[in-house]
Structure 1
Amino acid sequence: MEIGKDPQVIVLYDGYSKDEGTSMLANCTCTLIKGRTNIVIDTMTSWDGDRLTEALYKNGINCNQIEFVICTHGHSDHIGCNYLFPKAVHIVGFCISQQYTYFYHDFQSGKEYVINDKVKVVPTPGHTLQDVSVIVETDDGVVAITGDLFEKEEDLRDDSIWKSAGSDSQELQIINRKKILDIADYIVPGHGPMFKVHK
């Protein structure tokens, strides 16, 4: 699914999660923001390098053109292909770095990280205590790329879905889910397709 013109929000791969009894089969949703600033959000697992490179190529982008890599949190299914983007600034949860330089930013107190006038990174702890979401203003509305703050659209009706996926603070997750639902027209969740917010 694709939203907007500049910036464009392009979901490269829909995430999924399935309980297999003794294990979980899962991969995260991976999203490209294409425009004045090219951004990849949540880079899937370490086994997805060829898939991700190919998806970017189909959208007219190569890895060296990505300026920011944003991982909504540090779990392995969201950070696996960060290595593909050596020129980018990497934001993994509350940690911001480029090569060997780490930048100070006070996500902890709620401070947003502004990439440009259309894209910002906001702290949304809950699933982990350092979760972030990416808020994108497009000509089709506000898109929130949230990682596992929302697992999938179905967890709007069944909160056992996001709770069973793990939550470091259910109280914070409830607060931040409401905050995102209040501002977003579309949500890209951590393990499902983009969905429209019905208000």
Structure 2
Amino acid sequence: MELKVLFPGFSEIIQPDNNNTRANCTCTLIKGPPNIIVDTMTAWDGPKLVEALQKNGLSPDDIDYLICTHGHSDHIGCNYLFQKATHIVGFSISHKETYFSSPDFSKGQEYVINDGVKVIPTPGHTLQDVTVIFNQDEKVYAITGDLFENEQDLDDESIWIGAGSDNEGLQRKHRRKILKLADFIIPGHGAMFAVPHMYHLWG
């Protein structure tokens, strides 16, 4: 399996007087099988997402799992493209008109796709956030959505708090969990970054 960041996310204030923001989320492909797309950007991004998949030898119908780290509009906009995939949107797991009650993310249970990929609950930014954990070559990659905005929020928590947090305490708890676990983080609105070694030493 191979992980590719198709589009790194971004977020910037464009009109300071009224706090308007220009933003889009990071979109990540795990090329398998199974083929997995994580966070599908806005509803206006369909053509460029299809083109990016084609460059990787895939079409939307080749995607087996669509995972959205949470339900905000900049993370779910192109879900409609993936008609054959199982959809995991936050804590909701469905295929077409069938919704599955297991695993129960609200009880801390994990969705295991295979030995290399699983989905774990990491609420905080919203109360139904999930993170995708991908293991490759003895390295752990965490695709976190807005649990982490970007690498800069490691040193400036006002960045992730200012982006919105339904529960700051939960978000801090799950950020700490991911920092101890992961070698690399793919955040919601920035480039992938390596986790500084000091975080792996936390008790």
What is the TM-score with the length of structure 2 in the denominator?
Answer: 0.94
Bigger relative contact order (CA 8 A; separation at least 6): 1
Could you say which residue in structure 2 is the equivalent of 1:49? 46
More displaced 10-residue stretch of structure 1: 162-171 or 13-22: 13-22
1:197 is matched with which residue: 195, 198, 201? Answer: 195
More displaced 10-residue stretch of structure 1: 53-62 or 69-78: 53-62
2:61 is matched with which residue: 61, 64, 70? Answer: 64
Could you say which residue in structure 2 is the equivalent of 1:33? 30
Task: Report sequence identity in percent.
Answer: 62
Could you say which residue in structure 2 is the equivalent of 1:173? 171
Gaps of 5+ in 1: 1-6
Give CA deviations for 1:67-90 in whole Å, capped at 9, x if unaligned. 000000000000000000000000
Residue 140 of structure 1: how far off its partner (Å): 5.5
Could you say which residue in structure 2 is the equivalent of 1:89? 86
Specify the code of the residue in structure 2 equivalent to 1:96.
Answer: I
Residue 36 of structure 1: how far off its partner (Å): 2.1
Give CA deviations for 1:71-123 in whole Å, capped at 9, x if unaligned. 00000000000000000000000000111000112100100000111000000
Provide the C-alpha distance between the structure 1 equivalents of 2:2 and 2:155, rounded to a whole number of angstroms: 29
Provide the C-alpha distance between the structure 1 equivalents of 2:40 and 2:55, rounded to a whole number of angstroms: 16
Specify the code of the residue in structure 2 equivalent to 1:9.
Answer: L
Provide the C-alpha distance between the structure 2 equivalents of 1:146 and 1:35, rounded to a whole number of angstroms: 20
Q: Alpha carbon RMSD of aligned pairs, Å?
A: 0.7
The within-5 A match list for 1:81-160 is: 81-105=78-102, 106-139=104-137, 141-160=139-158
Provide the C-alpha distance between the structure 1 equivalents of 2:193 and 2:77, rounded to a whole number of angstroms: 25
Residue 9 of structure 1: how far off its partner (Å): 0.9
**Tell me, what secondary structure is at the counterpart of 2:113?**
strand
Specify the code of the residue in structure 1 equivalent to 2:21.
Answer: M
Provide the C-alpha distance between the structure 1 equivalents of 2:3 and 2:159, rounded to a whole number of angstroms: 25
